[in-house]
């Protein structure tokens, strides 16, 4: 595999707070969250149901914004769950352990992918993930992973490597 094919594994620029702030805006479009509130038959909405949904949406958005959800913990660095990994990947720039958390996030995701690449290096290996050519940058892939994982809360308690490869195989499946 050429190094150009896996360009996204390289860090094209430092991951700064502007990139971290942009991630929160790309997570889930508001219309996708509000669609279930409306009755498909006539387009109307129950005021009580909409108000309850909006309150839930606002609370969820506040928890998803870096810096609002709280500081990373020692437990997050154990990376037992996808939630732990996302806490590290979405750490606030104001957090005392910002650099450590962000570097751990990147290292975890890239390390798991490198291990995967080693497992498919043989002549009879069949890849599960086929990124586009040219591949996206590492930061773009990590940002996409964060958005995908936040949109799939059912995986928050699973092993993060499982969630990473769910994302990768859904995003860039190989033709069979």
Confidence of residue 70 (pLDDT cuts 50, 70, 90): low
So what's the pLDDT on residue 175?
Answer: 85
Within 10 Å of residue 69's Cβ, how many Cβ atoms?
15
Digit-coded pLDDT (tens) for 120-145: 998 889 999 999 999 999 999 999 99
Burial class (CB in 10 A: 0-12, 13-18, 19+), 82: buried
Q: Taking the alpha carbons of 171, 173, 175, 176 in that order, is the dihedral positive or negative?
A: negative
Digit-coded pLDDT (tens) for 84-125: 999 999 999 999 999 999 999 999 999 999 999 999 998 889
Digit-coded pLDDT (tens) for 149-163: 999 999 999 999 999
Of the candidates 80, 67, 42, 76, the residue with the CA atom closest to the CA atom of residue 160: 80
């Amino acid at each position: 595999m050429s190094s150009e094919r896996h360009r996204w594994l390289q860090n094209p620029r430092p991951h700064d707070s502007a990139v971290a702030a942009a991630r929160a805006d790309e997570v889930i479009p508001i219309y996708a969250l509000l669609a279930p509130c409306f009755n498909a038959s006539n387009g109307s909405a129950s005021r009580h149901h909409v108000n309850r949904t909006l309150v839930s949406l606002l609370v969820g958005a506040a928890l998803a914004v870096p810096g609002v959800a709280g500081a990373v913990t020692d437990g997050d660095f154990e990376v037992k769950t996808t939630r732990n990994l996302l806490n590290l990947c979405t750490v606030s720039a104001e957090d005392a352990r910002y650099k450590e958390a962000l570097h751990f996030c990147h290292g975890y995701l890239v390390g798991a992918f490198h291990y995967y690449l080693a497992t498919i290096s043989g002549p009879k290996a069949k890849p599960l993930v086929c990124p586009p050519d040219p591949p996206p940058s590492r930061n773009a892939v990590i940002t996409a992973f964060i958005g995908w994982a936040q949109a799939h809360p059912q995986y928050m308690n699973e092993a993060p490597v499982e969630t990473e490869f769910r994302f990768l195989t859904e995003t860039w499946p190989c033709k069979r």
